[in-house]
Amino acid sequence: MEEYIGGLWDKLITRVAYQGYPEARVELAQMKNIAATFFRALGGDPGLNLQSGSASTHGARRRWLERIAGIGEKVELTWADDSTLHLPAYIDYFPERELNRELYLWLLALVAHDVQPTAPYLQRNQAATLALLNAFPSLQERYARLVQASLLRRTDPSQLKKHEAQNELLIRQALKNPGSVHTELIKTSRKEFAFTPVILWLQSANKSNAVSNKAANKTTPEQAQGSAAQNDTEQRKRMAERTDMPDNPSPFMLLFRAESLFSWAEYVKVNRPLDEDDNPDAQRAANDFDVLSVANDGKSTASRVRFDLDLPAEADDDLLLADGILYPEWHYKKQQLIDKHACIQMLLARDAEPQSLPAHLRPTAKRLRQQFQSLAPERQRLRSQMRGDDIDIDACVRFNAERCGANSATNHHRLAVASPGLYLDNRQQSRDMACLLLADLSMSTDTWVNNQARVIDVIRDSLYLLCEALAATRDRFALYGFSSVRRDNVRFHLLKGFDEPYGDQIRGRLAEIKPGFYTRMGAAIRHASAILQQQKNARRLLFILTDGKPNDLDQYEGRYGIEDTCVAIHAARQMGLIPFCVTIDEKAEDYLPHLFGAKGYIVVKDATELPQLLPRLYAQLTNQY
C-alpha cells in the first residue's frame, strides 16, 4: 500500500513540477525526414549524422517543486563532435508546437554556421547567430519570435542573486542583439548557482569526445506512461573526456574518504578492458554522470583472450586470381588522397561445382523470366538503309521521282540529288546496358532475419533471382562480392564476369559464397568502377548490395570509412557510371544520403523481401536511366 501511494505521489508531484509542455512536444524522430536535408541545404557538414544526445546537469537554480520532485537537474542541449550532430530527443520548451518545430530548424541552421566552435560560450553563440542571420536575412523574423518566447520562459533577473542576475542580463542582451556582448559570463563560486542554459544556443564544446549510451532519465509522467521518448531505442551519445590514470602510491589505501563511499562523483577504478563485459548496474551509474572520464592503465588481462578474425590458410582459401592491385584511399582528417593505400585480391571459389537452381526458387524464377522477357531487345525492320537484306520499294519510288523532277528543271541545270538509302535491314536492337552488382560478404551477413534465415542466404537467393531475370533480358552483367581484413587484404570475389555466360557454373559459385571479415567499401567500389569503366556500353549501372556501413580494423570505421566511400562513389560518377545502393541496414538513413544522394539508394525494411524486390528494382532503374 505504501508503494502504491508513493507511486501516485511521485506521478502527481512530477506532473505539477514539470516545466515543459508535453501536449506541444515535437520529437526528433518526427523531424528526421527533413532535418538532414535542411541541415545540408544551409551549408552544414554533409558527413555529420543526426542523433539524439544525452542530458547534462546545468547547475542553475530550480523551483522548489522541482527540487521536491527530483527533476529539472538536467537538460538536453545541442552539441556536435567529429562525426555526429546531437540534438534533443524531443523539444517541448514552448507551449506552441510550431515554435518547438522552429526551434529544431534554428538549431540545425546554427550548427551549420558555427564559425567559432572553440570560442567561449557567449562569443561562440553570438558569432554563429550573426553568421546565420547575415547569410539568411529571412530568418530574422523567426529568430525574433524564438527569442521573445525564450525570454518569457527565463527567470527574471530581479529574482536572482547578484552574480546570477549579471549573467542573466548578459545572456538577454546577447540574445536580443547578437554581437553586442564582448565579455564572458561571470564565474560563480561553488555555493552559487550557474546560469540557466539557453535552449537557442549550442552547448559548450569543451568535451569533444563521445561514448555510446542509451539515456534513461526521469522527465515527465507522460514518458512514464509509455511515450515514444521514454521508450527511445535509438543509440545516444554521452559527453566524454580522456584523462590520466590517478597515481596511487599506497595500493592498500582508498583513493577517497570513507564517508563518501556512496558518491558516484568520486573516482572508482573499474578495470573493464573488454567490450563483452556486461554489468547490469553500469547503465544506472552512467546516467548519473554528465561527463564520462576514461583512462588507460596500460595493464592487460589474462582472464579472457580476444582474437581478431584471421585469414584462412592458403590450402583452404579461394583461388587467388590476382594480388597487389593498389588503389588510393581518402583520409578525411588530412583531407588528402593517400596513393596506393588499399590492396585488392581477386579470388575465385576453389571447390565450386556446377549446380542447378535451388528448387524453392524455381517458381519465382520462372515468373521473373516471363516478366523480364519483355525487356529483351527485339528484331526491328529498318527502312532507308544504305545496305540491307531487301529492297525498300518506297525509298526507290521517292528517289526516282526526285531525280526526274531535277532533270526537268527549266533552267536546264542538273540538280544534285543526295544518294539515298534504298534497302531494308532487319537488325537486333540492343538496350546497350551493362550492370555490375557488388555484394557485401562481410561477417555481419551471418546474422539472422526474424529467426527465419541468415542475411547471407537472403543475399544468395537475391543473386540467383536477379541473374535469372537479367539472363532473360540479355543485358550484359557481372557479379562480384567483397570483404576485407585491413587495407592489405581487400578480398574481391569473382562470381560472374561480363564475358561469362550465366549457367550452372555460375550458380555453383553463388552456392559457395560465405560471410567473413569486414567491409572496406571504398576500395571495393574503386575496383568495381575500374572493371565497369572498361565496358563500352552507353549505360553502366553499379549496383551495391550491403547490410551495414563501411568498417574495418585499421581506423576504417565511423566517419573515416564513410568519407572514403563517398569519395569513391563521386569518382565513379565522374567516370560516367550510375551507382545505386540497396541496403537492409535500419540505420542507413543516417549516412546513405551523404553517400548516394536522396535518390541513389533504397532501404529494404524486411530483408526476406529482398529476393523479389531486387529484380523489380533493376527493371525500374534501367527504364529510368
Count of C-beta atoms within a 10 Å radius of residue 473: 22
Q: Assign 168 to helix, strand or coil.
A: helix
Q: Assign 109 to helix, strand or coil.
A: helix
Examine the fold and report which residue of 428, 444, 468 is the final residue of a domain before the chain moves on: 428
Q: How far apart are CA 625 and CA 623, in angstroms?
A: 6
Q: How far apart are CA 343 and CA 326, in angstroms?
A: 5
Examine the fold and report which residue of 211, 238, 265 is the final residue of a domain before the chain moves on: 238
DSSP 119-157: S-HHHHHHHHHHHHHHH-GGGHHHHHHHHHHHHHHSPPG
CATH number of the domain bearing residue 604: 3.40.50.410
Are 458 and 611 spatial neighbours (Cβ–Cβ below 8 Å)? yes
Asked if 71 and 173 sit in the same domain, the reply is yes
Asked if 79 and 220 sit in the same domain, the reply is yes
Asked if 394 and 332 sit in the same domain, the reply is no
412 part of a folded domain = yes
pLDDT at 339: 95
Asked if 475 and 405 sit in the same domain, the reply is no
Asked if 19 and 111 sit in the same domain, the reply is yes
Q: What are phi and psi of 532, to 5 degrees?
A: -70, -30
Q: What pTM did the predictor assign? A: 0.72
318 part of a folded domain = no
Q: What nine digits make up the cell of 431?
A: 538496350
Q: How far apart are CA 318 and CA 338, in angstroms?
A: 29
What distances in angstroms separate CA 267 from CA 74, 280, 285, one per listed residue? 21, 19, 12
Are 490 and 344 spatial neighbours (Cβ–Cβ below 8 Å)? yes
226 part of a folded domain = yes
pLDDT at 143: 95
DSSP 322-352: EEEEEEEEEETTTTEEEEEEEEEEEEE-SS-
Grid cell 557538414 in the structure block, residue: 45
194 part of a folded domain = yes
443 burial (CB, 10 Å; 0-12 / 13-18 / 19+) is middle
Q: What are phi and psi of 302, to 5 degrees?
A: -110, 0
Asked if 404 and 495 sit in the same domain, the reply is no
pLDDT at 378: 54
Asked if 601 and 546 sit in the same domain, the reply is yes
477 part of a folded domain = yes
- Cβ neighbours of residue 438 closer than 8 Å, sequence gap 6 or more: 480, 481, 482, 524, 525, 528, 542, 543, 544, 545
255 part of a folded domain = no
Asked if 393 and 493 sit in the same domain, the reply is no
549 part of a folded domain = yes
Asked if 154 and 86 sit in the same domain, the reply is yes
Asked if 558 and 613 sit in the same domain, the reply is yes
Taking alpha carbons only, the member of 283, 367, 401, 334 closest to residue 564 is: 334
Count of C-beta atoms within a 10 Å radius of residue 485: 19
Q: How far apart are CA 108 and CA 200, in angstroms?
A: 11
What distances in angstroms separate CA 202 from CA 30, 82, 199, 287, 578, one per listed residue? 21, 15, 8, 21, 39
Are 405 and 397 spatial neighbours (Cβ–Cβ below 8 Å)? no
Examine the fold and report which residue of 199, 220, 238 is the final residue of a domain before the chain moves on: 238
The edge-to-edge listing of strands for the beta sheet with 49-52 is 49-52, 84-87, 79-80
CA-derived radius of gyration, the chain: 33
Inter-residue long-range contacts of 230-237, CB under 8 Å, 24+ positions, other chains counted: 232/52, 232/89, 234/29, 234/51, 234/52, 235/51, 236/51, 236/52, 236/53, 236/54, 236/86, 236/89, 236/212, 237/51, 237/53, 237/54, 237/81, 237/84, 237/86, 237/210, 237/211, 237/212, 237/213
| Number of compact structural domains in the chain | 3
341 part of a folded domain = yes
Profile the chain (625 residues) by mean pLDDT over runs of 10 residues: 82 86 91 86 86 82 83 86 87 94 95 92 94 94 94 90 89 94 79 79 61 40 40 52 60 49 48 47 60 60 47 77 93 93 94 92 92 69 74 82 68 52 68 91 88 89 94 92 94 95 95 93 97 93 93 90 95 96 87 88 90 90 73
Beta bridge partners of 582: 545, 602
- The H-or-E segment that residue 2 falls in is helix 2-17
Q: How far apart are CA 438 and CA 498, in angstroms?
A: 13
| Polymer length in residues for the chain | 625
pLDDT at 128: 95
Q: How far apart are CA 342 and CA 331, in angstroms?
A: 12
Range of the domain at 413: 379-428
Asked if 217 and 341 sit in the same domain, the reply is no
pLDDT at 606: 87
pLDDT at 94: 94
Return the percent helix, strand and coil in the chain, to nearest 5: 40, 20, 40
Q: Strand pairing of 423-428 and 390-391?
A: antiparallel
DSSP 292-326: EEE-------SS-------PPPTTTSPEEEEEEEE
Asked if 390 and 450 sit in the same domain, the reply is no
